[in-house]
Amino acid sequence: MSFVIYVGFGLLYLFILILGRLLNSETTFLAKSLLLTFYLITEIIAIRMEDRKNWIVSPVVLASVMTFILGYGITNLIFFIPNSPPRDNLFLNLGNNAFNLLNTSMDSVILGAVSMWVGYRTNLGITLFRLLTTGVINLKKLFRVTFDFKHALLYTFIVLSVLVRFYAILIGVYGYAQSPEEISEAVKYSQYFYLLGLLAQYSLLIISLAYFSSEEQKNKKLFIALISVEVFFGFISGMKSLVVIPFVIPFVAYLVLKKRIKKSFLVLAIAAIVTAYIIIEPFRILRNMDPNFQSSPKYILQTMYDAYYLNEEVGLIKETDTEFFLFAFFGRNNYIIDAAKAIDYEDKVGLNRNDPDFSNRLFSIPLQAVLPRFIWVDKPLENIGLWFTQKVYGRNYYSSTAMSPFGFLYFAGGNFLIIVIFFIFGVMQNALFRFIELGSGGLIIFIGLLSSVVLIDSAVNTIFVEWIRLFPMLILLQYITFKK
């Protein structure tokens, strides 16, 4: 079946390339976008025919939807709406030759998508799974199978996470309230604050699995309370994604356990996105305009209160502004402009000695994962988004721009490296998928690492670093959290 898909897709792609010489670049880009979407949907249907029970939670299926179809497929349609903000933004960032650049970047995206699926379908995923579970020692005996957890330990995790995040706010290294000076001062230990802060999300995952796996649905009050706490910190962070995550975690837990979508959490996630836009976008404006901004819970909440009423008076964003939210959702999830900008910069300008060494960031992944910054003094900072904003886009302000994984890999080694790394992602997705059969402990590994190979990040090296760091941590956490 897969061979037929590849041959058919290859012929269609070749036909578009030939036809592209007769059509304009805009029409060719539309054809490539639709072809990518069509190809991925075909692959997803094939997976569903092979495994009707678990196909909906397959990492390669989720990555096809979340990274490729949303990031580089159907969301590309916003650039064809006449006189729309996305189309104006396209020509503003890429110039009059915009669609030619988009076509070049789409070739790289298509190579990545096909390579990911080829990697997933190989037997290397089975080999990697065996290496992770029985390669050195038999870890399978350490995996818990019950959803009954230790309440006292989980309360400790929650309290520790809350205290650490409050401390991070006070020293100015939490969320959007942070400043460049405070980040540079705290760079040696801020990553540990980040990991400890994640303990509350981990606790929410444990409670969600226990809540949905039980017919009696125990721990309901704790479940609701922890969601509320995480939503609060999401707003305090000034990061819209952290407002939504408290609803995404139980949504994913329910999806994995029940193999169907929990509509109520989907609705709550959408409502959280709308609310986050209404409050956080004006908050960011006020935060950047306030020279005396202080990183404290009281000052942040006061600024958010002012931002809400500023939005009510000025009408920056309204709940009923459907067009705004449509463009905002599609625009925020589309990365083709950034990929095109990166590829065009590498082709026309290239990197110099003062720019980030992208290839070295890939080759030094094991060292990045295990060596702390106080030992490796020159350890690379994860600030390539800031570099991309200031150097490639030429914008003189402090803000990170995601260059997409295709931009990162093209800087590191061109299309060859895109093919290799996305092939490896497919292998990792296959291996990760097999953990769902290892009981509650296996589900912790699966869900804990799922986002890294589903929402494929611009800083590609951090995906591998995350696996090296989190895999042993998650094994230990599930072992001590769940009861025998």
> Is 106 a domain residue?
yes
Instruction: State the residue range of the domain holding 128.
Output: 2-134
> Is 450 a domain residue?
no
Please state, in angstroms and rounded to a whole number, the distance separating the CA atoms of residues 443 and 21: 49
| 114 and 171 fall within a common domain | no
Please state, in angstroms and rounded to a whole number, the distance separating the CA atoms of residues 445 and 472: 9
pLDDT of residue 427: 97
Mean pLDDT, consecutive 10-residue stretches, the chain (484 aa), reads 76 82 88 93 92 90 94 90 86 91 95 96 94 86 90 93 86 67 59 82 92 77 90 82 87 88 84 77 68 67 69 56 59 86 93 89 85 72 84 81 93 95 97 93 93 91 92 93 88
> Is 432 a domain residue?
no
pLDDT of residue 263: 85
For residue 149, what are the β-bridge partners? 482
| 125 and 195 fall within a common domain | no
| 392 and 284 fall within a common domain | no
| 218 and 320 fall within a common domain | yes
| 224 and 171 fall within a common domain | yes
> Is 463 a domain residue?
no
| 283 and 318 fall within a common domain | yes
| 322 and 382 fall within a common domain | no
The answer to whether residues 190 and 144 touch, using CB atoms and an 8 Å cutoff, is no
18 alpha carbon, distance to own chain's centre: 35
> Is 441 a domain residue?
no
Spell out the long-range contacts of 248-255 with Cβ–Cβ below 8 A and sequence spacing 24 or more.
249/201, 249/204, 249/205, 249/208, 250/204, 250/208, 250/211, 250/212, 250/223, 252/447, 252/450, 253/205, 253/208, 253/209, 253/212, 253/447, 254/208, 254/212, 255/56, 255/57
| 360 and 270 fall within a common domain | no
| 237 and 306 fall within a common domain | yes
> Is 167 a domain residue?
yes
> Is 436 a domain residue?
no
pLDDT of residue 454: 94
pLDDT of residue 22: 78
Number of domains observed in the structure of the chain = 3
Q: In the 8-state DSSP scheme, what is residue 371?
A: S
pLDDT of residue 154: 93
| 99 and 153 fall within a common domain | no
Residue with tokens 């970047």: 105
| 291 and 177 fall within a common domain | yes
pLDDT of residue 177: 62
- 371, 397, 412: which is the final residue of a domain? 412
The reply to whether the predicted model has a pTM over 0.85 is yes
> Is 282 a domain residue?
yes
- 87, 114, 134: which is the final residue of a domain? 134
Q: At a CB cut-off of 8 Å and minimum separation 6, what does 289 contact?
A: none
- 357, 382, 412: which is the final residue of a domain? 412
| 75 and 114 fall within a common domain | yes
